[in-house]
Structure 1
């Protein structure tokens, strides 16, 4: 099952927020190092003559405004936002009277380079880091042309940290792209596997129906002269079996011909909970042939023996369903209960099966962990594909009061005699 958890702070705070925090931290360091703190004989950095004057403070205020504007613009237009942050670093350096752009004034720009490298194309990230390095070099070049001293070694260290920020961001971006590719591939494989299993079940259904038809036809041939009423019953059984199978084939074969699922797969399991090793008796595979809602009680008993109590509630008038609908409803219950055992961290769950006039609805509720992150399982991806092929709907998500809920609605277009 899938539960969305509160993201870590790195994801909850947008990139622009981190940039603003970096600028604030750099500004605080700038002021603290130019004050004589308790226990110090002198300040760590000697303030320039204009630093604490109105013009110096006004320059810092303008630089802060530029940094705030850059942080607000970073998500929508990263390169213009970086330009504002670089301008803030230059303006914020002017009142300091130093021979280079110090790291505290350039920290916000480095954070921006990091996030640009993560979330933007590689060319944009390269342009960002080259622009930042150009500003560092341009600042030194202007001072040289004006005949002022420079601190090339300190500026080289700032440039090196900028390149490191870009390398880290580029590495994180590539890792995310690779993870997304793996998730998409796994989801597509889950859909393919589910379609293959559906195809096997259709094969079994057709083979079973043909066998029934052959037996009933043989019986009708033998008694058609002596007991015509028995022959009539056999022909009725042949008609029923043929119509039932044809209905299932029409519902599913057209979609199975498509090589691509055409849906956006969604990972569907919560983060791993208790070790499932103790659940091995439940997790043993059950033979596929003939499974349906009538087997839910057996599934509940196996799960209860494994340590997770399953309460099954039936609503409506229980009646025969088309085989593909019956099997698909069972598969949804099986997958949802399996996920409760593996990932919910609870000792019980509730299964509701509701027979309605035009549909059958199955629902699985648990009160387990509601704060797990999205996991990497894809069981419900295949279930969603299976239900979709039958023109039904499947929803899965956390419950408002805690726990998780899976519900599937399968339309019953034709009753089975």
Structure 2
């Protein structure tokens, strides 16, 4: 079975944690003792229904305030597919946590409250998902029970959301009317909405096609670690560990090492359980090469006639995550794949308004949770691709040299 990674998104109190709790509960994917603990808390609090959001909200502050603060990860499986889910916060203050949870997602569930429609945070999260290149969106119009399961409300929100996404690069958008509290259209079809002709949310998650989303053409293997065991059993072993970021690698393939430009062949590929016949994204493996090249952390293995760009001037869209505003020129660390270099933010081309998608070319600073197109100059060349071509080699994070805090996340144009 393949694995689908998906994340939730949307404004605070739209019901993201409740939906994930309902999904786990109705698909019988939660442990009995965990469910009993949640039921006990709900009884003591006098809740009318079992608060399924508590299955995901594990922090004390989350339970006290009734909001999600940090990204909560969960794992479950059905006979058709395995799932890794990331329940992300909806509060504007924690937008950076949402970016973290959605950065590796194959699919995102965007919740919209049927009683409120699209709000600012709905637009911000949707735009960020498009910026992060999440290939599949499922828009769940939640709390349909509070509007009497009215088809007109669902159609109005669908039209508004569709109009917003037409200005973005999102390819696949599916709309599902649900009630996470009562389980309507979450795991099984609801009798309350006979006008809805689609499948349930779980049915869509089980059947959405994701195998063609990863780049299987451009071989990219950023070297993370050089393995040279000091053992008499294998004195000549030299392997290069890392995660396959693109393409397919097989023993005997001709490859090129960057930045040297020297070519060699793949002698063998080792996995956790022994030798492999091939390696594909996102597998973590160890490559052994036919020749002893000077390969170190931060280098790249690729095809001789299909290499990434070698660039020191980077044009990128950046989400700023620090409480301290960014004002060019600014010096930061930039971590790209397995390489960390110093960078200077040379110019801010424009700041983006996530509500209207207007470009403010007069902006001189970037505040927390804002998005801007920046020009950066790095001290050492990056081996990179446009983000639209490869999500791993086309993304980076920015780090404050003084505090070592991650202050920004960027995608290369």
Q: Smaller-chain TM-score range?
A: under 0.3
Q: Which has the higher relative contact order, 1 or 2, with Cα contacts under 8 A spaced 6 or more apart?
A: 1
Could you state the TM-score of these two structures normalised by the residue count of structure 2? 0.27
Bigger strand share: 2
- Which is greater in Rg? 1
